[in-house]
A and B are shown apart, each in its own frame.
Chain A
Amino acid sequence: MQTRHLTLYLLVLVLVVGMVIMALGGGLFGQQQFWLLQWQHQALANLCHQIADRSFWIGGQPMAVCSRCLGIYGGLAFGWLLLPFAGFWKINSHRSRLLKKLLIAMAVMNLIDIVGNYGSFWENTLTSRLILGGLLGIAAAVLFSGVFFNRKKESTGKYYGKLTTRGI
Chain B
Amino acid sequence: MENSQQGESDNSQRDASYQPAPSYWMAVTTAGLIFGIIVFVLSLITSYATINSEPTGSFFSPSQFIGVFACLAGAFGGMLATWHYAREYDNIPIKLGKGALIGFLTGVCITIVSVALSQVWQFVDPDMTQKIIDSTIANMEAMDMPDAQKQQMIDVTVEGIRSNNSMGMQLLWGVPINGILNLITGMIGAKIFGQQEG
Contacts and interface: CB of A to CB of B under 8 A. Distances in A.
Interface of A: 5, 8, 12, 15-16, 19, 34, 36-37, 41-49, 51-53, 76, 91-93, 96, 100, 103, 118, 140, 143-144, 147, 154-155, 157-168
A160 B173 contact: no
A36 B196 contact: no
Given A43-B173, A162-B95, A163-B93, 7 more contacts: A47-B68, A49-B60, A49-B67, A53-B60, A147-B191, A163-B197, A164-B195
A153 to B, nearest CB: 10
Given A164-B93, A166-B195, A49 B190 contact: no
12 contacts: A41-B160, A44-B177, A47-B75, A49-B60, A49-B68, A144-B96, A160-B197, A164-B91, A165-B85, A165-B94, A166-B91, A168-B86
A163 B195 contact: yes
- Most chain A beta carbons < 10 A, residue from B59, B70, B75, B198: B198
Interface string B161-177: 00110000100011001
Contacts of A162: 93-95, 197
B90 interface: yes
Given A12-B183, A147-B191, A42 B91 contact: no
Given A147-B191, A163-B196, A165-B195, A37 B163 contact: yes
B160 A93 contact: no
Contacts of A160: 197-198
Contacts of B74: 46
The 5 closest A-B pairs by CB, nearest first: A163-B194, A159-B197, A165-B86, A46-B71, A162-B93
Contacts of B90: 165-166, 168
A16 B183 CA distance: 11
Q: Is the interface of B mostly helix, strand, loop or mixed?
A: helix
Nearest to B98: A163
Interface in B67-102: 67-68, 70-72, 74-75, 85-87, 89-97, 99-100
Contacts of B109: none
Contact of B100 (A8, A76, A103): A8
Contacts of A47: 68, 71-72, 75, 177, 181
Given A8-B96, A42-B163, A160-B198, A165 B173 contact: no
Chain B residues touching A, range: 35 or more
A168 B198 contact: no
A44 B164 CA distance: 11
B24 interface: no
B30 interface: no
A96 B96 CA distance: 15
Given A48-B68, A51-B64, A155-B198, A164 B191 contact: no
Given A164-B93, A168-B90, A34 B68 contact: no
Given A37-B160, A43-B173, A163-B191, A8 B196 contact: no
Contact of B94 (A36, A52, A154, A164): A164
A168 B93 CA distance: 12
Nearest to B67: A49
Contact of A164 (B183, B192, B194): B194
Contact of A42 (B75, B160, B187): B160
Given A51-B64, A53-B60, A166-B90, A140 B71 contact: no
